[in-house]
Structure 1
Amino acid sequence: MSKPVAESANRSRASGRQALPDAHALGMLLREAYFALRRCSNAHCAQFDANGDQFVVLRVLADAEGVTQQELVDLAGYDASTTGNMLRLMEAQGLISRDTHPDDRRAKIVELTAKGRQRQRELWQATETLRRRLWKCVRPEDREILSHTLSRITREMEQVRATFEANQTQNSNP
């Protein structure tokens, strides 16, 4: 079995020791970690006819009941289309309800149903070992640093994306 791309890209040729990652290797390491976590999360959630993304939505709704669909997009970190598709499926499964916002007919309020609350609790319990194992990978003294670093990376990449998209829009408008 071959080594992950980021692992091999992150080795010093002369010594074989870990070198400081360049931007590409860091990106690949983050990507590998994300996909490993996603696969593991999906496996844990599958027994409840759910996936990790749906669990995220259920968890956000459990913590922030009665949010608009757009607020859910922002809180869960998915795009509007993906969120809308997930919500349609979850509504058909009886996990959530969507009602027109009382002050804005264009907006939808999203809430967990009793079945959705129960499913969220089941998924939370089913993923307990996963969360423990995830934190076990990070020394207690490094957890706050890791959280801050990942937040900084997220903010920076969002700024890069926004700048890129703004430039693309300017370049496409003669």
Structure 2
Amino acid sequence: MSRIGKHPVAVPAGVDVSVSGQTVTAKGKLGQLSVTLIDDILASLEDGKVVVKPRNDSKRGRVMWATSRTLVNNLVVGVSQGYTINMEINGVGYRAAVQGQELVMQLGYSHDVKFPIPEGISIKCDKPTAISVSGYDKQKVGQVAAEIRAWKKPEPYKGKGIKYDTETILRKEGKKK
């Protein structure tokens, strides 16, 4: 039995969840999201909670049970609280700023890197070396953060580059004489 899937998803106040067939839709103060579950999964609304179960005892149903429950939980948390990923920039002369609908980064290249901010995502730069990516869709927030990080991944010798604030860079020893 799935340890994650057996827990129902609590729906907080201010969030409206509707289940129609295989589609679960959540609407809250930050926006509206929906997910379509596979046919082997059955979702239902019981006592203000979303319960996700496998429709039958098939292998695919058991495998996707916890994944489907987590997707529904991400919808509910996203429209009620939202998600934020904080990033740090390390390196001499490396900095970032938001100009209009673009994130402009100076990362040691001969040109500035301009990253257009997608719809539904907000990016803040409180300091020139700190980037905060936030939004209500967890997948989209993570994808945008990964694309920003891909412009200059942290290198292992000096740690220069863009990294998540929770990330630890394994440092290597430099040349020896």
Compute the TM-score of the two structures, normalised by the length of structure 2.
0.26
Compute the TM-score of the two structures, normalised by the length of structure 1.
0.26
Greater helix percent: which structure?
Answer: 1
Greater strand percent: which structure?
Answer: 2
